[in-house]
């Protein structure tokens, strides 16, 4: 592949490091794209460094991360495809709603303002951060048990534990508080321009067994775009959990994304 491939910017969510996109980067590069996976603001370069310095990302909010990625994209030679997971998916939606990016893929995206369903599983998955109001200004780590429930519930104990050891890092709790309160805050940072008609196509991806962003939440997100004439579609993966970008079935998801991009000429 040459550097003339369409850029792809991968955006991870909470509790995973940017390097968790490495298999996707190799896969997309082999398909002719020019992928990159920058970390969140102040995110250390490695999983080990991030674990050793959790305060580096404390208090980072949704707009901080969105502006960070917008600045990175502004430095590219042409508009990229933006692919985000979890809060990275919400950021993908925000950027696309701002007219940034050629197309967007939001995988298990965190709920945006206007999404009303709040399943019990989602509440439990968010408790490590939301359970203590003081966490608003902190970075929070998951235990292996918490990761198992929120990410690895559709996996074997062994695979979930392996992913936890390999990819998890402390993450800012502020975005979770912002998303949880979005429908009660007039100018919430979780608000997305879902009415824009001149944006690129958007694919929402959902795992039907996801605890952290349950399928009903992603389906409700799709409904928020009903007044836009821009392309917005949903792809569901039966029996997959929040780990679907990093577990042994990641390639199925990546191939579906590549197929969708080809269908839309991107």
- Here the CATH number for the domain that contains residue 220 is 3.40.50.1820
- Domain of residue 14: give its range: 7-264
In a domain, 83, yes or no: yes
In a domain, 2, yes or no: no
Q: Map residue 9 onto helix, strand or coil.
A: strand
Per-residue pLDDT of the chain (266 residues; tens, 9 = 90+): 345 799 999 999 999 999 999 999 999 999 999 999 999 999 999 999 999 999 999 999 999 999 999 999 999 999 999 999 999 999 999 999 999 999 999 999 999 999 987 787 888 888 889 899 999 999 999 999 999 999 999 999 999 999 999 999 999 999 999 999 999 999 999 999 999 999 999 999 999 999 999 999 999 999 999 999 999 999 999 999 999 999 999 999 999 999 999 999 99
List of residues 6+ apart from 116 with CB closer than 8 A: 183, 220
In a domain, 158, yes or no: yes
Between 22-30 and 250-263, two packed helices, what is the crossing angle to 10 degrees?
40
List of residues 6+ apart from 211 with CB closer than 8 A: 121, 122, 124, 125, 149, 150, 153, 241, 242
Let me know: does 39 contact 13? Beta carbons within 8 Å.
no
Nearest Cα to 90, choosing from 12, 22, 168, 153? 12
Domain count, the chain: 1
In a domain, 202, yes or no: yes
In a domain, 241, yes or no: yes
In a domain, 257, yes or no: yes
Task: Give the Cα separation of 125 and 172 in Å (integer).
Answer: 15
Tell me the pTM.
0.95
In a domain, 256, yes or no: yes
In a domain, 1, yes or no: no
């Amino acid at each position: 592949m040459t550097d003339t491939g369409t850029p792809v910017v991968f955006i991870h969510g909470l509790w995973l490091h940017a390097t968790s996109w490495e298999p996707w980067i190799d896969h997309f590069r082999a398909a002719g794209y020019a992928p990159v996976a920058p970390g969140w603001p102040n995110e250390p370069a490695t999983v080990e460094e991030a674990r050793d310095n959790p305060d580096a990302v404390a208090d980072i909010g949704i707009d901080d991360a969105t502006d960070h990625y917008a600045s990175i994209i502004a430095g590219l030679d042409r508009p990229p495809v933006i692919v985000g997971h979890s809060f990275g998916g919400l950021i993908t939606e925000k950027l696309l709603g701002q007219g940034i990016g050629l197309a967007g893929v939001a995988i298990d995206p965190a709920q945006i303002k206007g999404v009303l369903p709040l399943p019990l599983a989602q509440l439990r998955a968010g408790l490590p951060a939301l359970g203590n109001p003081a966490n608003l200004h902190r970075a929070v780590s998951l235990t292996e048990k918490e990761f198992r429930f929120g990410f690895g519930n559709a996996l074997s104990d062994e695979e979930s534990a392996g992913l936890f050891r390999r990819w998890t890092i402390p993450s800012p709790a502020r975005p979770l508080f912002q998303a949880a309160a979005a429908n009660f805050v007039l100018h919430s940072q979780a608000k997305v321009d879902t009415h824009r008609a001149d944006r690129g196509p958007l694919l929402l991806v959902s795992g039907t067994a996801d605890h952290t962003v349950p399928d009903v939440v992603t389906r409700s997100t799709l409904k928020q775009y009903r007044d836009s004439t821009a392309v917005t579609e949903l792809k569901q993966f039966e029996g997959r959990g929040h780990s679907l970008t990093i577990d042994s079935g990641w390639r199925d998801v990546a191939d579906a994304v590549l197929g969708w991009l080809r269908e839309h000429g991107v």
